[in-house]
Amino acid sequence: MIELLYKAAAHPFVNVSALALDALCKAGERGYSAVESFLPILQRRAIIPHYVLPKGSLSLSAYEICGVAFHDFEVFRESVLTKALLLCWKTNGVDYMESCTAAVEEFCSERPSAEMTMQLEAALFCIEAMAGEMQLSNVPASNSEQLKRCSAALGAKPQVLMSNPLTLSRMCRVLGQVRSS
C-alpha cells in the first residue's frame, strides 16, 4: 500500500499527489518508518511546474503539467507539501538538511539554465518549509553546518540565482527566516 502511495505522491497532477501525501503523513504521524524514503519525492514535487520556452525563458502557465493553476499549486506547496516536508525533517533532520544543502550547492555550482533556477528555488523552499519549526524547537540554526554551506553557495552569487526573480525572492525569504532563528 505504501508503495502505491509513493507512486501517487510522485504523480504530476497536484490533486492526486495531495491525496497521497496526506495519507503518507498520517501514516508517518502514527510512527510508520517509511517516511524517510519519500523526501526525494517531496523535493521533486516542490519544483514549480513550468515550461522552458525556446529562448530559455520560463512559462509558469503549466496547467497541463500539474492539473491546477499556478495559485493552486502555491496553495498545495504551502499546505500539504509543507506538512509532509516538516514530517520528514522531524523524522531525520540531519539527513533532511544534508539533502537540501547538497541540492543548493549543486544548483549553485552548475552552469545556469532555466530548469536549474526552478530546481534551486525548490531546494530553497524545502529549507524555508522547516525554518520556522527549527526555530520553535530551539535547534540553533545559525550554528548549523549545512546552513553555513548553503549561505556560502548562495553568497557566491551564482548566475543561476540572479537569473530568476522567483529564486532570488525565495533566497531572500530563506535568509530572513534563518537569520531570525
Rg (C-alpha) for the chain, rounded Å, is 16
Count other C-beta atoms under 10 Å from residue 137's C-beta.
Answer: 12
Task: Give 15-31 pLDDT, tens digit per residue.
Answer: 999 999 999 888 887 77
CA angle 6, 78, 132 (to 5 degrees): 105
- Short-list 160, 159, 153, CA closest to 175: 153
More confident residue, 100 or 58: 100
Q: What pLDDT is attached to residue 83?
A: 94
DSSP state of 49: P
Alpha helices in the chain (DSSP H): 2-9, 14-29, 39-45, 63-66, 70-76, 82-91, 93-109, 114-136, 145-155, 159-162, 165-180
pLDDT in tens, 44-73: 999 999 888 887 778 887 788 899 999 999
The rounded distance, in Å, linking the Cα atoms of 109 and 95 is 21
Whole-model pTM?
0.89
- Strands 51-52, 58-59: pairing is antiparallel
85 vs 144 pLDDT, higher one: 85
Q: Answer yes or no: is pLDDT of 139 > 90.
A: no
pLDDT at 156 over 50: yes
How many alpha carbons lie under 13 Å from residue 137 in its C-beta half-sphere? 11
Cα separation values, 59 from 49, 130, 149, 171, Å: 9, 28, 31, 20
pLDDT at residue 104, rounded to an integer? 92
Greater confidence (53 vs 104) lies with: 104
